[in-house]
Amino acid sequence: MLAVLTGGTGGAKLIQGLSLETDPAELVIVCNTGDDFVFHGLHISPDLDTTTYTLAGFADTERGWGIKGDTFATLEWIGKYGGESWFKVGDRDLATHLTRTRLLNEGLTLTQATEKIRKALGVRSGILPMSDDKVETRIRTPAGEISFQEYFVKERWSSEVSGVAYAGVAKSRAVPGVVEAIRKARAVIVCPSNPVTSIGPILAVPGVRQALEETPARVIGVSPIIQGAAVTGPADKLMAAMGMEASSFGVAKAYADFLDTFVIAPEDSSQRNRIEALGVETVATAIRMNSLDDKKRSAREVLALV
């Protein structure tokens, strides 16, 4: 079994490759839920959905979110009624949110609801939320504190950020399978996901970081930063706001206590010595994943390290 820690966009690219290059049933994927929020009364879990749709084979890989070929008639009509429509929910995607919300209202945990949805969609990999408890990534801006989705989608990460907090995390508990997967895995893969808003919340759930430090499995990370810039989204900006160096080195430093091997882009080879000085073995190879071939190749490189 391979344990995989992920957010949405960048993580899903590697996960798609991994699912095609190894037996998907071997993967147990731990998703960030710090981005979860309520929209029109529905419980939305963006990273769980992106992961599930990717593994089910109908993710919209062009956009990086939602379902391929989805339509937006419901959202359009919500807009006619003056309702909020900044978060793009497709008609088919809406069925997922309605189902999850119904299952949660019936008393199921987020883990159980996720399990039902993944099975219904024929996904063979395990998909676990990091926690069943509410953990909310809050972004501090000059205008006040906002949720990650407000910052990321509504404001298109235009606000200046002075801090990031994971509200509720100290009291949260990891879903039982999470710590177990990390401790028993053949290897742990930390996806090229945002270190502040995707991997950060998972690491902050009590017990997770310790499991990563103690696991006998090799922990392999892939850098989401290439030449000091995020490939997509605001990871570089958020890292700088958190006082981290926005570089592959900065990511490696944030993970150095548990990381055995870090995969960086060839363009960042000059950072190799600094990363190795942290006690982290470093491999430089192509990790920009634009095409399906790129994703499969990056996955093969990671699997070769397992």
Name the residues that contact ligand GDP, by CB under 6 A: 6-11, 13, 35, 47, 191-194, 198, 222-224, 230-233, 235, 287-289
Residue 236 CB, nearest approach to ligand GDP (Å): 8
Residue 230 CB, nearest approach to ligand GDP (Å): 3
Residue 181 CB, nearest approach to ligand GDP (Å): 18
Task: Name which of 103 and 231 has its Cβ closer to ligand GDP.
Answer: 231
Determine the Cα–Cα distance for residues 249 and 255; give it in Å rounded to an integer. Answer: 10
Determine the Cα–Cα distance for residues 245 and 242; give it in Å rounded to an integer. Answer: 9
Task: Name which of 154 and 184 has its Cβ closer to ligand GDP.
Answer: 154
**Structure tokens of 178?**
């999470």
Determine the Cα–Cα distance for residues 209 and 213; give it in Å rounded to an integer. Answer: 6
Residue 306 CB, nearest approach to ligand GDP (Å): 18
Task: Name which of 52 and 194 has its Cβ closer to ligand GDP.
Answer: 194
Question: Backbone phi, then psi, for 47, in 5-degree steps?
Answer: -75, -35
Amino acid at 83: G
Residue 13 CB, nearest approach to ligand GDP (Å): 5
| Residue with the CB atom nearest ligand GDP in the bound state | 10
**Structure tokens of 64?**
């990086």
Q: What DSSP line would sit under 188-208, residue for residue?
A: EEE-S--IIIIIHHHHHSTTH
Determine the Cα–Cα distance for residues 62 and 232; give it in Å rounded to an integer. Answer: 12
**Structure tokens of 294?**
């790129």
224: closest CA among 212, 237, 215? 237
CB 185 within 8 A of CB 2: yes
Residue 107 CB, nearest approach to ligand GDP (Å): 28
Task: Name which of 179 and 238 has its Cβ closer to ligand GDP.
Answer: 238
Determine the Cα–Cα distance for residues 276 and 285; give it in Å rounded to an integer. Answer: 16
Secondary structure (3-state) at 139: strand
Task: Name which of 76 and 166 has its Cβ closer to ligand GDP.
Answer: 166
Task: Name which of 183 and 294 has its Cβ closer to ligand GDP.
Answer: 294
Task: Name which of 120 and 304 has its Cβ closer to ligand GDP.
Answer: 304
Residue pointed to by tokens 């989705």:
149
Between helix 91-105 and helix 110-120 the angle, nearest 10°, is 140
Residue 235 CB, nearest approach to ligand GDP (Å): 3
